[in-house]
Amino acid sequence: MIADYLPALQLEDDIWRFVAEECYFPTARKLDEPFDEKFKLVVTIRRARYAYHAFVGVTWKGVHHALGITEKPVEAGKDYTLTMTWKTTPTTREFLEAFKEPLTKRTTTYSYTWIAGYYINGRGEIRCSLPAELTVEVPKIWMPILVGVGAVGIAGGLAYAALKK
């Protein structure tokens, strides 16, 4: 089970971990399709040490982005489960553009990390992470379209030549 490979990071009493068996994020998508409606990240916090705002986010090319932050601080000494899903599902293109990722004309695999942590006194700390990869397929121009466009171009050229005579 993948959860056996995910370390739980610990700072004094509180323990954070992604519940990998409940998380779902795509590993392969087409560029202009929805990122995935079933997307879900689940993080557990056991014995919260302080009152703080918890967040779930992503590290993309070394830059941390908080995608969701708790509205109210968690309470010290309690257990929590954070679940993150999309309000509106972005396309894969929109997901990549949000991180200012230059789009290529070929299928590309991106490595990134889902993260969770807290903000306290204006300072944030990442408490657990879950590595991920996403292969983005860029549509190729279909051969029938090229043949059709080529045929129209040739026919047009012949018609133009015939009209010129």
Q: Which CATH number covers residue 97?
A: 2.60.40
In a domain, 164, yes or no: no
Number of residues in the chain: 165
In this predicted structure, the answer to whether residue 31 has a pLDDT above a threshold of 70 is yes
In a domain, 129, yes or no: yes
In this predicted structure, the answer to whether residue 165 has a pLDDT above a threshold of 80 is no
State residue 110's pLDDT score. 96
In this predicted structure, the answer to whether residue 75 has a pLDDT above a threshold of 70 is yes
d(CA 45, CA 19): 10
In this predicted structure, the answer to whether residue 61 has a pLDDT above a threshold of 90 is yes
State residue 155's pLDDT score. 44
In this predicted structure, the answer to whether residue 5 has a pLDDT above a threshold of 80 is no
State residue 123's pLDDT score. 86
In a domain, 160, yes or no: no
Number of structural domains, the chain?
A: 1
In a domain, 61, yes or no: yes
Percent of the chain residues topping a pLDDT of 90: 58
What pTM was computed for the model? 0.75
More confident residue, 151 or 125: 125
In this predicted structure, the answer to whether residue 70 has a pLDDT above a threshold of 80 is yes
More confident residue, 157 or 103: 103
In a domain, 156, yes or no: no
Q: Which domain holds residue 100?
A: 2-140
State residue 133's pLDDT score. 96
In a domain, 128, yes or no: yes
State residue 28's pLDDT score. 95
